[in-house]
Structure 1
Amino acid sequence: MLERLGSEPNIPAVDRSPLDVAGLLSRPIWKELRTFLAVAKSRSFAEAAVMLNTSGPTVSRDVKRLESQINAQLVVSSHSGITLTEQGRGLAMDLADLDFKLHTLSSNIGREKTELAGTVTISVTSGLSVAFVAPAVMRLGARYPNIAVDLKDQISFVDFNKNQAEIMLSMAPLPRSDVTSREVGTLHLIPVAHRRYIEAQGVPSLSRLGQHRFLQCSYYTAAGDPWERWREIVRAGLPAHSAANSLAYYSFAKSGMGVALLGNYVLIDPDFVPIDLNVHIPIKLYLVALTDRLRSRPVRAVFDWLAGTIADNPMFARELTLQPTRSAPENDFRAFFNLPLL
């Protein structure tokens, strides 16, 4: 399902949901896995039996049955208690994460039926999370005091499953039958330099690339468009720093270490200056969520709030702007970075 603010054609669904694959089902060992998790937490068959309201021999049989099913030794028994093997500890850690998610999901579902309450997980790039999303959560809380958000670092810009979130800010729509994608704005990447750099090195130009340092971010090293033009400029310049983390990359630029390719929103800081190098990379932003989860009132409320937060920011308009305004999202940025409010 594709929600659009523009008039782009529908994108065909080329990826099926796991729910569409009838044969995709785990082995019938859920009970044994829960028993093993209790053993891993208590390090004793007897204490695990108390936790599960069953008997010690039953716990022991469940663990042995699980080991047989997956063909791996998970525990070592001794008079002093239970010790997890390396494989056992790895499985226990994964199960503990899954158990917590199931507990949170089951707890939230009951509340979602009657009220706007619960925790909603969002995956956003670190830069946008710090600059715009986290500061705007206060406004969300004022409207929905019983909704909490869990902001996660973005592992992938386009792979929804890797980010393990209910809502994701993506740089492409996801053509999956179980996913809703809504276009919410455009990220405009342009070359910028801090006044510290310009005062020390002068204003960079296409005719003087070899006299300047151009900072590189690992996001921009992927092969092909749209990054090739920026890579050419980086190669033509003097040796310069690079960073994998977007906040570290921003910090390099703010410290005056070179010219960086950053979102036009950094111009909210009056000490940043746009540099004309014939580079402008517009990237459409999409808000993505599992369609089934959008039936949850808290998830839908957070989805709509985040869509509005981005769409209402003039810096994410379709057309590039280099002139900051007094909008609430821009003042969020100013407040976080201790800049004068307009």
Structure 2
Amino acid sequence: MESLDWTLLRTFLAVVESRSLSAAASLLKVTQPTLSRHVRELEDVLGVTLFIRTARGLEPTEAALGLINDAKSMGAAAQALALKAFGRSQQLTGTVRVTSSVMVANLWLPSILADLRQAEPSIQIELVPSDTNQNLLRRDADIAIRMADPTQGDLIARRLGDAALGLYGTQSYFEKRGRITTMQELMQHDIIGFDRSDVILKIFAANGYRVVREVFPLRCDDQMVYWNLTLAGLGIGFAQVMLASKVAILERVPIDLIPPMPVWLVMHEEVRTNARIRRVADFLAMAITELLQNSATPRS
């Protein structure tokens, strides 16, 4: 039997996962005819049929099912090899991919990245704003700024500090509806909630108030839109103290419902030896740590 080409096995796994040549082609960023050719080549090398077409899509045969675990093991080994090779690069040139929450990408990182570009003009930055954690093991990003302790193995996490959260409303809102001093008063006000996320529901439940989504007259999961709804005076919203304390029109409700969020810088242990990634990671860590330490004293 001929030696197996990893490209063919990668195609095989993508088709198994997606059950569709077109979906697998989109995932691997190649054309559908190319994937179709890869499947035929692998079937010729192995001497078996790997997929049958059904109403639900391409279904793996018994022969294919017997290959999946071995193919995944080869894929993991190839990925580990690529990470190690990438980690040995010592040039302060090239691209570093950074991911963070939408709020951090919009309101923390622009000025920090401006300073980084001044310091390291040969390093290019790709910024991925996402409230869904990117998979660092798959190299969806090189560095992540996260508000939760990472649980994946093979990741290096550096805690940079804490970001306090508070409840805020605009002065005009409070002038119309009155100030708030107790939880009972808070529950009589318009609180801006989340749409599909249950995070705010859990916060209220942890404080003894089991509420349903409909308690919140306005709901949105997008963090930047949520922030702008609060600024527009549409109700009481959760906000980072370090951001809200710098906005003159916002007032903080003197009720704390949630502890500060830890801020982590995370990267794969293999890429921390890459000079440009290490440089960007160190720069971000220093800048964000300083930002958190120097947060303005919140307005009451």
TM-score, normalisation: structure 2: 0.68
Match of 2:217 among 218, 240, 248: 240
C-alpha RMSD of matched pairs (Å):
4.3
Q: Tell me the equivalent position of 1:213.
A: 190
- Structure 1 gap segments, 5+ residues each: 1-26, 49-58, 75-85, 88-97, 324-342
Aligned 8 A contact 1:189 1:282 in 2: yes
Deviations 1:251-297 (A, max 9, x none): 11011110011110222111111111243421111111111101001
Q: Tell me the equivalent position of 2:22.
A: none
Within-5 A mapping of 1:191-270: 191-206=167-182, 207-217=184-194, 221-222=198-199, 228-229=205-206, 232=209, 239-264=216-241, 265-270=243-248
| Shift in alpha-carbon separation, 1:249–1:191, aligned structure 2, 3 A | same
| Shift in alpha-carbon separation, 1:193–1:34, aligned structure 2, 3 A | closer
**Letter of the structure 2 residue corresponding to residue 72 of structure 1:** F
| Shift in alpha-carbon separation, 1:317–1:230, aligned structure 2, 3 A | farther
Deviations 1:202-222 (A, max 9, x none): 222314234311111359724
In structure 1, C-alpha distance between the alignment counterparts of 2:294 and 2:194, rounded to whole Å:
24
In structure 1, C-alpha distance between the alignment counterparts of 2:139 and 2:203, rounded to whole Å:
23
Match of 1:298 among 269, 276, 288: 276
Q: Tell me the equivalent position of 1:71.
A: 50
Aligned 8 A contact 1:122 1:166 in 2: yes
Q: CA deviation at 1:301?
A: 0.8
Aligned 8 A contact 2:245 2:296 in 1: no
| Shift in alpha-carbon separation, 1:312–1:256, aligned structure 2, 3 A | same
In structure 2, C-alpha distance between the alignment counterparts of 1:281 and 1:322, rounded to whole Å:
15
| Shift in alpha-carbon separation, 1:157–1:135, aligned structure 2, 3 A | same
Within-5 A mapping of 1:90-101: none
Q: Tell me the equivalent position of 1:133.
A: 109
How many residue pairs get aligned? The number is 254
Give the match's secondary structure for 1:182: strand
**Letter of the structure 1 residue corresponding to residue 100 of structure 2:** V
Is 1:182 matched with 2:161?
Answer: no
Match of 1:150 among 122, 126, 132: 126
Q: CA deviation at 1:199?
A: 2.7
Q: Tell me the equivalent position of 2:65.
A: none
In structure 1, C-alpha distance between the alignment counterparts of 2:208 and 2:141, rounded to whole Å:
32
Aligned 8 A contact 1:221 1:227 in 2: no
Is 1:120 matched with 2:96?
Answer: yes
- Structure 2 gap segments, 5+ residues each: 13-24, 59-74
Is 1:275 matched with 2:257?
Answer: no
Q: Tell me the equivalent position of 1:55.
A: none
Aligned 8 A contact 2:165 2:239 in 1: yes
**Letter of the structure 1 residue corresponding to residue 185 of structure 2:** R
Match of 1:289 among 267, 282, 292: 267
Give the match's secondary structure for 2:108: helix
Q: CA deviation at 1:180?
A: 1.3
Give the match's secondary structure for 1:279: coil
In structure 1, C-alpha distance between the alignment counterparts of 2:269 and 2:254, rounded to whole Å:
42
TM-score, normalisation: structure 1: 0.60
Give the match's secondary structure for 2:164: strand
